[in-house]
Amino acid sequence: MILLRDLSFSRNGEALVTGASLQLHPGWKVGLTGANGCGKSSFLGLLRGELHADRGDLERPPNWVLAHVAQDTPALPDAALDFVLDGDIELRQIERDLATAEAHHDDHHAGEQIGLLHGRLGEIDGYAAPARAAALMHGLGFSDEDFQRPVAEFSGGWRVRLNLARALMCRSDLLLLDEPTNHLDLDAIIWLEEWLKSYPGTLILISHDRDFLDVVTSHILAIEAGKMQLFTGNYSACERARAERLANDLALAAKQKREAAHLQSYIDRFRAKASKARQAQSRIKMLAKMGDIVAAHIDTPFSFRFPEPSGFSDPLLLVDHARVGYDATAPIFDKLTFTLRPDSRIGLLGRNGAGKSTLMKLLAGELQPLAGVREEGRNLKLGYFAQHQLEQLRPAESPLWHMIKLEPRTREQDLRNYLGGFDFRGSMVDAPCGRFSGGEKTRLALALMIRTAPNLLLMDEPTNHLDLEMREALTIALQETEAGMVLVSHDRHLLRATCDELWLVADGKVTPFDGDLDDYAEWLAQDRAAEKRGGKSSAASRNAGGNSAQEKPVAAMSKEAALAARRPLLKESEKLEQQLAEWQGELKLLETRLADQSLYASPETRLLEELTLRQSLLTQNIETAESRWLEIHELLESTKEN
């Protein structure tokens, strides 16, 4: 077991936890929770032996094999599948020993050694290891074509997935995972949940995804106010216990009652107008549980609401027969037609690379249609949040500077109060935001967007980097706004609680999804099964005779014509891979440079601004190139089968 005895630890001289004493037993699946910066990652560092305790003991069985996800992946020439197989250290050692022994097979001792090694290989199921590695990679979204691609060719997000697959490949006794869902889509998250549920070892998991914690964990280890407390049960059970504890404080109990009554009045209003659609009914059930959640987070450091929009147009936005993409000859969407109205609250679903972010860029006006119409309502006021907007923050300037730039005539104290609602208090209000963590930058970007009082919210993965407290505050704030909304998120709790309808992005089309998130999980499972059977997703096969400009000619192609069609695509793919490798290398160097604190101390801000601008441009270039690369490989897949 893992034993903590009067354990105290700190980071950079700042005390994080004092006097923790508890036991974690083999086979437990422990969710490690607490606000950002409370010491969760430091605790994993202690378990890995990379940090040392200030006082007390942290003991774990010395013979346990430990697995964790590496933070960096060097630009290796190794094939992705081999890189994942390297996670099983004993397997690789046996393979090396076998190669040495077989080189000396005439030696009697070597023959004996070969027999023993093959015996051990059988015991650890080593012959099936490549199939196990392939299953891990498929589960995390890689295709068969990716297996032999060099690690160096993959982008940052995909290298994180490779590192995760490598950690899962290790036959470990203790698995440490620090926010493993951050770079995953919903498809991969649902697969990972199932894998972790059947993992036989001890798991310690940091996650801010409440659904993920609820499905996977048997215990919660909460860090709060410098103390560690162990709860039996999943996150929701721990939350109920916390709500009861807070109810012992009279002032907080009164606040719990006020918030519960406020939320109930909203739920009653919503129930009266909700449609019979499965997702709208699913949302009613989710909202009924929100009272318990609010009670557990009543002492949250966040307090903000969306200001009411000054006016609406109906429709807010109209898209008609739009062709959308980055290349007129190979659009991602064609004949796209829909209307967004003031009461639209839509969640976008779809597998990685299906085009959800491209669709959001079209809605935001960052991408104009190649043909057809994108028409804004007369009073449309967009509020767009996407990850690349974090790079548009001025790194040398403070949160207050950004607010004054947005509202130069507003009283400074009012702006400080507003920022306080997003937990920017004290010296943080005046600190340069280049030093901020990803979560702090996300909070600031959201604060700036919310302040503009939009009537149509476009939110692409807004919860990345946000802790559970801020996620809950955002979920509650989104309940009450009258603004229309389109949301892309892998946070199922946020989708369930805020969306009335779901749209599926698949095979170059956007269609209403007749179901809720549980139905979507089933759709994904069927899609995966169809892929395994025929190498083509069910969605793709349903549309085999469909409207995609590429699909019709491919179906009728001769082998020679198919080969001729593949050549320019392969050439373009090769060129893109080279370009991506260069951009990723430059981005890595840039990020190292931007991490240098002396850059922010200099009064000369032009260099800092140039570096940040280049970082933003590179990120956008990489995103566009990756979308095109995925598109090419889907076309190559379809030509391969004919």
Indicate the pairing of strand 55-59 with strand 2-11. Answer: antiparallel
The pLDDT of residue 631 is: 74
Handedness of CA 366, 362, 617, 463 (dihedral sign): positive
* Closest C-alpha among 51, 33, 98, 495 to residue 237: 33
Q: Helices H, strands E: what count in the chain? A: 23, 18
Quote the CA–CA distance of 133 and 324 in Å, as a whole number: 36
Q: Residue 559 pLDDT more than 80?
A: no
Quote the CA–CA distance of 220 and 174 in Å, as a whole number: 16
Residue range 196-206, pLDDT digits in tens: 999 999 999 99
The pLDDT of residue 540 is: 39
Quote the CA–CA distance of 155 and 146 in Å, as a whole number: 12
Largest CA distance in the chain: 89
Cβ-Cβ contacts under 8 Å for 140 (sequence gap 6 or more): 161, 164, 165, 184, 188, 191, 192
Question: What band does 105 get if pLDDT is binned at 50, 70 and 90?
Answer: low
pTM to 2 decimals?
0.80
Residue range 30-58, pLDDT digits in tens: 999 998 888 999 999 999 999 999 999 99
Q: Which amino acid is at 637?
A: E
More confident residue, 591 or 465: 465
* CB distance 458 to 286 below 8 Å: no
* CB distance 333 to 509 below 8 Å: yes
Q: How far is CA 501 from CA 202, 264, 289, in A?
A: 38, 21, 19
What's the N-to-C CA distance of the chain in angstroms?
56
Mean pLDDT across 310-317: 88
Long-range contacts: 232-235, Cβ < 8 Å, 24+?
A: 234/31, 235/31, 235/33, 235/210
Tell the residue number behind the tokens 């698949």, with chain if given: 506
E-strand ranges in 325-437 read: 333-340, 345-349, 371-376, 382-385
